[in-house]
Amino acid sequence: MKIVVVGHGMVGHKFLESLEEAGVPVQVTVLCEEPRPAYDRVHLSEFFAGRSAQDLSLVEEGFFQRTGHALMLNARATAIDPHARTVATSTGDVLPYDKLVLATGSYPFVPPVPGKDRPGCFVYRTIEDLEAMRDFAAHCASGVVIGGGLLGLECAKALRDLGLQAHVVEFSPRLMALQVDEAGGRTLRRKIEALGVGVHTSKNTLAIEDGEHSRHRLRFADGTQLETDMLVFSAGIRPRDELARQAGLALGPRGGVAIDNECRTSDPHIHAIGECAAWNGNVYGLVAPGYEMARVVARQLAGQESAFAGAGMSTRLKLLGVDVASIGDAQGATPGSRSCQYSDERRETYKKIVVSGCGRKLLGAVLVGDAAEYGTLLQMALNGIALPAAPEFLILPQADGAARPGLGPDLLPDAAVLCSCNSVTKGQVCGAVREGVAGIGEIKACTKAGTTCGGCVALVTQVMKAEMKKQGLAVDNHVCEHFAHSRQELFHLMKVGRIRTFGELLARHGRGLGCDVCKPVAASIFASCWNDFVLSREHASLQDSNDYFLGNIQKDGTYSVVPRMPGGEVTPDGLMAVAQVAKKYGLYTKVTGGQRVDLFGARVDQLPAIWEELIAAGFESGHAYGKALRTVKSCVGSTWCRYGVGDSAGLAVELENRYKGLRAPHKIKFGVSGCTRECAEAQGKDVGVIATDKGWNLYVCGNGGMKPRHAELLAQDLTKAQLVRLIDRFLMLYVRTADRLQRTSTWRESLEGGLDYLKDVVVNDSLGLAAELEADMQHVVDTYACEWKAAVTNPETRKRFRQFVNTDQPDPHVVFVTERGQIRPARPEERAARAEQQPA
């Protein structure tokens, strides 16, 4: 069977994937107008946030080679001959077909406004459109989007990402008029305006003219005007049905190729799917109905019964970082329906549910500012689940500890569709868990749930966890209430999305403002991925107290200073420099268990001066305050010891200098012993190295802390180069996959497959990640900079190290007493006695 597919967008490619899944033996030719294969238009705005065209691609590597399908890029279908069953193309080819599938999608509607073709006016549809916008925006200060619907607000975000002052112009009296009601529109407008985007509703644009201060001026029917440098039309879409018109196929009443329940057109040899198709007169502008149409046609070609039964317009989006969701009859148009509404103008949230006249059935809902209930409400509407006696409590805030009435995963039938984009049911997710799949990432890979728009991820995760509990499996919690992701998922989201700031992370993957849990987690991941200075303007506010002041805060509010001494090695001059600093600033000194000299009792205002003197003496920050490499403990090894067989001191210095500054989920400690007598206690460290007469043995995941754990042998008889490569891989795998504040020892215990799995990944490269992990570590090594030096040489950063903003006086509450010839913090009774001696 010869099949020709006209259009290779998201729906067209889903049809090809569905053909492969159905096992249909066919010869397929795909015509694609654009210069590149199918890509993700749902997340198109992320192009301006750093994602490349390749990142957005939907075509897995080798897909067309594996399937044998022919893809013709830059090839447009120009005519269809239904009688001869051929398609003529812009390249001069005439392609015969047994079945023709139209997946031509839609085109942006541009209102017939005089001036719409002026230079600097764009549409928002393809990557080429975005590239043209990006190039033009480099010379602009402001941009206007005509259209305040879903695409219009996505486009406004794109303009903001381009660094422009963004405005939205909408003909209707509110934003997203089709999805939200009047009250929801007001809340949405306030939230959008609070983000610095100008909103102009009830505006009928009469003309686009030369501006007085900017390139364009929009003249409105109410006599007002708005100037801008750049203009983008996003006023809706129209189905691309010109081929069907030319071929004499039946059309829908408002355009689009008319199709039946089998997605057949008026010609039984021609199907239409996606935004170009009109089912019962309806044209769907969402990706999920198009995907279902694609699956229906593929199943039919495989000889299976399948029908398209329509689709709801329910959707959940994050527009400019604002949660917006609409379900079913959001406007309450059903006769006899009633609504419950909740509005919080302080938090800028609005929620409404529409229920049937009997009060037992959910017909629709609107959520603005907080869409946490979307999954529950959607499943209640789709599956006809009876509402509780007081349905208003589904959207009302609950007192602490109060249980919210609603929908647990157990109440959902197995046939409930959790992911409408990919038609994944609860039964499929639970079945995957029972077969051993655990973790939302694995569920996505196995079932494809949540891999398209992502709106179902929260509910899929809830169902997955409920089934995991039934199976007696451990369930990981989210980082916090602001991120429905584990630390590992956040790491990959930041890495893949090239996210570099907390604000962008919240906007794309979180909610709320963040907290003391997720901010340090994000800060650690940013440092691991990009190695930016932790006290730069965009990162400083995320740090906990220790990292913010680059020192460990002590019980009396002072700080400790720990200069790095790689491998415990320090010159006499270095020791004298440390002693002089300690004496000058009156600090308590102690040799630590990690072979360092720790200086205690430094006031926050003294820190920059102390660091400057230590830096001048050749020292760097020892990162004793950070979740990072702390120390590499060593013995003197073969250099001095009569039993030593390896230069443990020299290797310890090399390892510490290589991995210094590496941020991780928790602190990391190394040990390097020159022989099996183990004077450096390497087998109680996160990374332990022991010299033998054949090379170096590598031990990992030991711990001498609250829950001691003996390290395990990962590899033996290694050269120094082999050892470093394996440590690189091990550390970066840990950084990528561990939970927040999880030591390597507990991380190892949680690894499915245990030590054998760790050996396969790190030593045998079973996942093919070795080169990537080594490259990531090399980036950290190459971009290392001493944080103390960066802090004291930056005037803005240095301003933070003041005890009070209005005086240079030290903190009078810091009180020391002398003991064993050194200072220590005063005890409460000593502090009280001293206070009594002070004059009034």
Q: What is the pLDDT of residue 285?
A: 83
Q: Is pLDDT at 804 greater than 70 in this prediction?
A: no
Q: Average of pLDDT values for 126-137?
A: 91
155 in a labelled binding site = no
- Rounded to whole angstroms, the Cα distance separating 367 from 696 reads 60
- Report the largest interatomic distance among the alpha carbons of the chain, rounded to a whole angstrom: 108
For residue 438, the SS3 value is coil
Mean of per-residue pLDDT scores for the chain? 87
Which pLDDT band holds residue 802 (cuts at 50, 70, 90)? confident
Question: CA angle at residue 712 from 708 to 714, to 5 degrees?
Answer: 150
Q: Is pLDDT at 452 greater than 80 in this prediction?
A: no
Q: What is the pLDDT of residue 605?
A: 85
Q: Average of pLDDT values for 542-559?
A: 80
Share of the chain above pLDDT 90, in %: 43
- Rounded to whole angstroms, the Cα distance separating 532 from 263 reads 53
Which pLDDT band holds residue 403 (cuts at 50, 70, 90)? very low
Bridge partners of residue 817, in order along the sequence: 824
Q: What is the pLDDT of residue 479?
A: 77
Q: Average of pLDDT values for 792-804?
A: 81
Angstrom distances, CA of residue 571 to CA of 240, 459, 575, 659: 76, 59, 6, 21
Element (H, E) at 340: strand 338-344
Share of the chain above pLDDT 70, in %: 95
Q: Average of pLDDT values for 277-291?
A: 89
Residue with tokens 């079932």: 447
Q: Is pLDDT at 824 greater than 90 in this prediction?
A: no
Q: Is the separation of the CB atoms in 512 and 481 below 8 Å?
A: yes
Task: Please report the DSSP string for 770-801 in residue order.
Answer: HHHHHHHHHHHHHT---HHHHHHT-HHHHTT-
**Who wins on pLDDT, 552 or 219?**
219
Q: What is the pLDDT of residue 325?
A: 86
Q: Is pLDDT at 88 greater than 90 in this prediction?
A: yes
Which pLDDT band holds residue 560 (cuts at 50, 70, 90)? confident
Six-digit token string for 356: 């049937």
Which pLDDT band holds residue 145 (cuts at 50, 70, 90)? very high
Q: Is the separation of the CB atoms in 136 and 164 below 8 Å?
A: no
Which pLDDT band holds residue 761 (cuts at 50, 70, 90)? very high
- The full set of domains in the chain, from first to last, is 2-107+239-301 (3.50.50.60), 121-235 (3.50.50.60), 315-407 (3.30.390.30), 629-782 (3.30.413.10)
**Who wins on pLDDT, 836 or 64?**
64
Residue with tokens 């971009």: 783
Q: For residue range 187-200, list pLDDT tens digits in order.
A: 889 888 887 889 99
Q: Which of 477, 470, 479 is nearest to 502 (CA)?
A: 479
- The distance from CA 479 to its chain's CA centroid, rounded to whole angstroms, is 13
- Rounded to whole angstroms, the Cα distance separating 153 from 131 reads 19
Q: Is pLDDT at 692 greater than 60 in this prediction?
A: yes
Six-digit token string for 95: 């392609």
Q: Average of pLDDT values for 345-355?
A: 87
Q: Is pLDDT at 777 greater than 60 in this prediction?
A: yes
Which pLDDT band holds residue 472 (cuts at 50, 70, 90)? confident
276 in a labelled binding site = no
Residue with tokens 């907080």: 370
Q: For residue range 714-732, list pLDDT tens digits in order.
A: 999 999 999 999 999 999 9
675 in a labelled binding site = yes
635 in a labelled binding site = yes
- Rounded to whole angstroms, the Cα distance separating 536 from 391 reads 48
Q: Is pLDDT at 201 greater than 90 in this prediction?
A: yes
Q: Is pLDDT at 462 greater than 50 in this prediction?
A: yes
- Rounded to whole angstroms, the Cα distance separating 104 from 242 reads 10
Q: For residue range 74-84, list pLDDT tens digits in order.
A: 999 999 999 99
Q: Which of 274-283, 364-373, 395-404 has the lowest mean pLDDT?
A: 395-404
Q: Which of 44-53, 401-410, 700-709 has the lowest mean pLDDT?
A: 401-410
Q: Average of pLDDT values for 406-424?
A: 75
Q: Which of 776, 719, 138, 741 is nearest to 480 (CA)?
A: 741
Strands 559-561 and 597-602: antiparallel
Task: Please report the DSSP string for 43-108 in residue order.
Answer: TGGGGGGT--HHHHB-S-TTHHHHH--EEEET--EEEEETTTTEEEETTS-EEE-SEEEE---EEE
